[in-house]
Amino acid sequence: MINYFSKYKFIFYLCNLILIILYLFPGSLLGWFLYNDLSLQPQITPDFIISTNHLYAYIVLSVIGFLTFRKNNKFNILSIYLIFLSIVLEVLQYFVPNRSFEFSDLFGNLAGVIIAIIIFYFFKKNENFKN
């Protein structure tokens, strides 16, 4: 399963494209698809301090990215890219109609990336320890 992502990099690129479209579309595409209403945003779990939808989205994207580029030693570059992407997409929502910049969303984005970075840091450290 882990080698699957490294063979098919287009999955990571497709996930990036889908995330960018969902973030920058004026309204909620998922709300339109599920509820036939662009103004409703589906909620997976209740928000606490951070937006859980954003947390889950960035954990999934980050894990796919780290699995994709696991053997290329691009961990630092990918980490910087994911942090940059999470900040830029949230700031760009300020300029998109019917979207808004929210700190809870930004913290959810960053928390998702940081959780995935920590998981893969320990995964890589354990992998290097075995060798």
E strand or H helix that includes residue 90: helix 75-92
Q: Residue 54: name the closest of 96, 112, 99, 116 by CA.
A: 112
Instruction: Provide the terminal-to-terminal Cα distance of the chain, rounded to the nearest Å.
Output: 21
User: Which residues constitute the domain of residue 119?
Assistant: 2-130
CA distance 123 to 117: 10
Q: What is the pLDDT of residue 65?
A: 92
Domain count for the chain = 1
User: How far is 114 from 62, CA to CA, in rounded Å?
Assistant: 9
- The identity of residue 119, as a single letter, is I
Instruction: Read off the pLDDT of residues 46-83 as tens digits, 9 standing for 90 and up.
Output: 878 888 989 999 999 999 999 888 877 788 999 999 99
What global pTM score does this model have?
A: 0.85
